[in-house]
Copies of this chain bind each other. A is one copy, B any other.
């Protein structure tokens, strides 16, 4: 993190600590320690831990968007291949990573703070919705080509891909086993294949 500025180092520290131990368990002191910044520097950039958390959601979205934008599946010609490729890419992101490294900053924080901190909750949903929109546009193209008469809603299916992945993380955390998340996401792939196969047979 040496080359990053103070703000980005604090964002990275927030992603790391909140994903591992949650929002409430993470103190400003701990964030400063991991980011190697002084408490004075923290409060020069942020008025509170809450403000850091809200802004960290945008940092997370930018950070993860770059990872997805560079993924190979975008180069596939058929949007249905892109969609399956997206799901497979989500599985690849689990390989060789600990749960704290592969799970979602937004989902973790939304679960904990949804009721007690509306600003954090809203920022988490914005981030999830931005990512879901990239999936929705792929689904829309795949539907137009392969299942134009299907009655399911593409926006709902895009959110469902995110719900499955979030739920896969919850179960994997409960079992302390990243492999369980992978096993769950295989069901998502099969569902998508069945949705399109079913439509083709109409």
A interface with B by C-beta (< 8 Å) = 20-25, 99-100, 106-108, 110-116, 118, 121, 124-125, 128, 152, 156-157, 159-160, 162-171, 173-176, 180, 183-184, 186-187, 190-191, 194-195, 197-198
Contact B175 A167 (CB under 8 A): no
Contact A115 B128 (CB under 8 A): no
Most chain B CB within 10 A, of A21, A106, A121, is at: A21
Question: Given A166-B167, A174-B106, is A99 in contact with B115 using a C-beta cutoff of 8 Å?
Answer: yes
Determine which of B99, B118, B157, B166 lies in contact with A171 in the assembled complex, contact meaning CB atoms within 8 Å.
B166
> Of all chain B residues, which has the CB nearest A107?
B170
> Of all chain B residues, which has the CB nearest A115?
B20
Residues of chain B lying within 8 A (CB to CB) of residue A184:
159-160, 163
Determine which of B23, B175, B194 lies in contact with A191 in the assembled complex, contact meaning CB atoms within 8 Å.
B194
> Of all chain B residues, which has the CB nearest A201?
B201
Cα–Cα, bound, A11→B63 (Å)? 41
Cα–Cα, bound, A164→B166 (Å)? 8
Given contacts A111-B170, A164-B167, 6 further A-B contacts (CB under 8 A): A20-B116, A99-B114, A106-B174, A152-B187, A156-B183, A163-B171
Residues of chain B lying within 8 A (CB to CB) of residue A112:
21-22, 24-25, 108, 111-112
